[in-house]
Structure formats: C-alpha cells, structure tokens
Amino acid sequence: MWPAAMSLVSTQKANYFNISEPRIAAVISDSVAAHSFPATIQIPGIDIDGDLTVEYTIDSALQQEAERLLSKHNPDYGILVAIDPETGRVLAMADSTRDGQNHGNLSVVNTYPAASISKIVTAVAVMDQGEADIGTIIPYNGKATTLYKKNVFEHSNNKWTRKPTLRESFAKSINTVFGRLGAVEIGGETLRDYFYRMGFNARFASDFRFDNGVIDMKVDDPWQVAESASGYTRRNTLSPLHAAVMAATAVNGGNLVAPVLVSRITGPFGVPLYVHNEPAVSPAMTAETASKLAKMMQATVSKGSARRSFRKFHRGHLEQVKVGGKTGSLTGFKPKGRYDWFVGFGELGDRKIAYAALCINKEKWYVKSAQLARELLEYYFQPGDQSELQG
C-alpha cells in the first residue's frame, strides 16, 4: 500500500554549492504562480556575490503559439500545458480569461474536477492487475454519460445491453463500465493505490510548487469507488500540469516524471552552478500497460469522443503523427462553469510531447479543448527547422 502522501524522490543533478530543487522552488514558486519567470535570482545560503542567472525549460515559440491559440478562441477560461514526456521539462504553460482579469497561473492549481481523466487511472489499474485487457468485452446498460447504482451493481444482460470492449469504453468514456470496473472488479483499495501511483495526494520532486491531483474517496464505500473510477464526482480534483504528467505515462514506458522549469543556473561570468540533466521518476505501471494505454488513447482520437475535433488531422506532414488523448467534462464551481478537458500525447519517431488542455465555459461554448490541442500539435509537428521546439 502506498502512503497517503508520497514524494517522488529526486535523482542526482549536476550541481554545485548545494543548489537543489527545493531551494530553487522556495525562490521561484511565488513568481511562477503569478505568471512571472525571474531571469535572475538569489538563493539564501549560497555564498556567491551577485545575482544568479536562470535558464528555463520553456520553449518560447511554443509558449507564444499556446498564448496565440487561447487569444484566438478566447474561452471564458482556457489553459494549455505542454511537457516533454521523457524529461518532464515544461515546454509551455499558458492560460487566458475572457473577462481579462488576473486569476494567477491557472495551470498550477487543482480546483478543477478531474472528471473522466480519472478513467486513465482505472484503465491502468485493471490492465496492470490483469482484470481486463483492451479487447475485453464489458457489457453495460443505460447511457454512456450516466451513472446509476442499479446499472453498476445489479447488471443483467438483456436485449438492450451494449457490449463494448475496454478500448471502446475508454474511447467513448462510458461511465457505467468504469464504475463497475472500479467498484466490482478491483475495489477501492486497489483503485486508490493506482491514484497514488499516478501522483494523486503526492509531493513531486520539482523545482517549483504546483498542486497535485487530490483523491477524496472512502475505499469501503462502493458508490464512492464507482464515482471515482468513472470520474463522475467533484470530490477528486486535478491541475492541468499534473494532467499532462499523467498523459506522459502512455509514451514514456509508464513512468510518472516530475515536471521541471529550470534547466540551468549560472553564476558570475557564466559559470554553471546547477544543470538539470536527470528527471525524477517513479514507475506508475508496467511498460506493457503503458503501451496499451497509448492505444486506447489513440482510439479516443480516431473513433471516440475526440473524433470530430481531429477529423482529417492525419494528412500531409501529419500523416505519421501518433496522437492519443482522453476527454473529460463536468460542471464545477472554482471557477463556476462547464469543464472540458483533453489530455494526451503526440509522437513522431523520437519526437514526443504530452499536453493538457482545459476550457471552462460559463454559458456559451467558444472552443473545445480537443480543438486547442489539435492546433497546438499542428504547430509542434510542422515541417522545417525544429531546433527551437526541442525545449
């Protein structure tokens, strides 16, 4: 059993003068939360005269494109985050609000219901534990978007029973299937264990502070387990940055990687004092499960709930790009509105990106989060010199 609050332990970095992620985080986190990336800093206890120069992992071109897309579509609240799934380097972290008010950095807070992004955790748990595979047929009754106790706990086949595979249920985000998988097949303790493995209720070994996801579930309450497994609850919350980290597990061998913002710190005369070179990682699932998760996320794009947003995407230079994702939607109150998630990955050969897009709409829909992600991917995988996009 994993602890209720675990730390992803940092690996050794190339650093001198005892500059560590916690020390960096203590200095830059308040600025990052306010959308500021200080070019120079001072770290208490470091015996060096003068300011230290900070180089960030942010890809300036990709950051500008994320900001442009949010400005173009102008949802009530919009957030775009992109990371390197292998290293955890944050490539872009942008948000916008239609009212123009400064709400701080919306990428790093976790007041947003995790919604059906939770189905990633449930799918990983049942496959990792051998309870189901991507081709396993799991019958259900009722609508895909509803969750009723009778359909979860008293299932019986009839002429109206649908019989999708796990891959199809994931792609179409069928609540009853995932509620049954969590509450009936694996149970609360195993499900909670996998939420912990995916970083919920955890402390990441990052060089800046951000909110991790929170799982609030009584493991001995089958209905709460069903709600958490399907994402049909507001109790469990998630930050967009953590959501991108979850998506990255599908294309990095199943590892949970701690996101980082600082690539290098130099002292006077450009002498390197700290260089980030090895990510802090924790295994969240087997590599085999990660590969299956990637296939299910690809089905979401090709046949599932994000199909319309990615229609005719695989053409021209994008023909060979692998794209996977998971949608999620639920009403919430911080801020109030309808939450529309799309988290996933893009992959072309050795070139990979993981992302999270979140739109919150008060009354009118301005853009789907999957559409924002699509346009960001179209930019990221454009042909030509990609040197600036390496992060």
pLDDT at 387: 39
Q: How far apart are CA 273 and CA 130, in angstroms?
A: 47
Give the residues of the chain that fall short of pLDDT 50: 1-7, 9-12, 385-391
pLDDT on residue 278: 87
- The residues, ordered by sequence, that sit 6+ positions from 40 with a Cβ below 8 Å of its Cβ are 51, 52, 53, 54
C-alpha to C-alpha distance for 285 and 212, rounded to whole angstroms: 18
End-to-end CA distance of the chain: 36
Using a 10 angstrom Cβ sphere, with 0-12 exposed, 13-18 middle and 19 or more buried, the burial of residue 295 is middle
Question: Which amino acid makes up residue 313?
Answer: F
Q: Give start and end residues of each alpha helix (H) in the chain.
A: 21-33, 60-73, 118-128, 149-153, 166-171, 175-180, 187-197, 222-230, 240-248, 287-302, 369-380
Query: What tokens were used for 61?
Result: 């071109």
Q: Looking at residue 87, what is its pLDDT?
A: 96
- The confidence score (pLDDT) of residue 15 equals 58
Q: How many CB atoms lie within 10 A of CB 228?
A: 30
Residues contacting residue 130 through CB under 8 Å, at least 6 positions apart: none
Contact predicate 237/110, CB 8 Å: yes
The DSSP symbol for 117 reads G
Per CATH, is 14-390 categorized as 3.40.710.10?
yes
Q: What pLDDT digit, counting tens, does each position of 193-214 carry?
A: 999 999 999 989 999 999 999 9
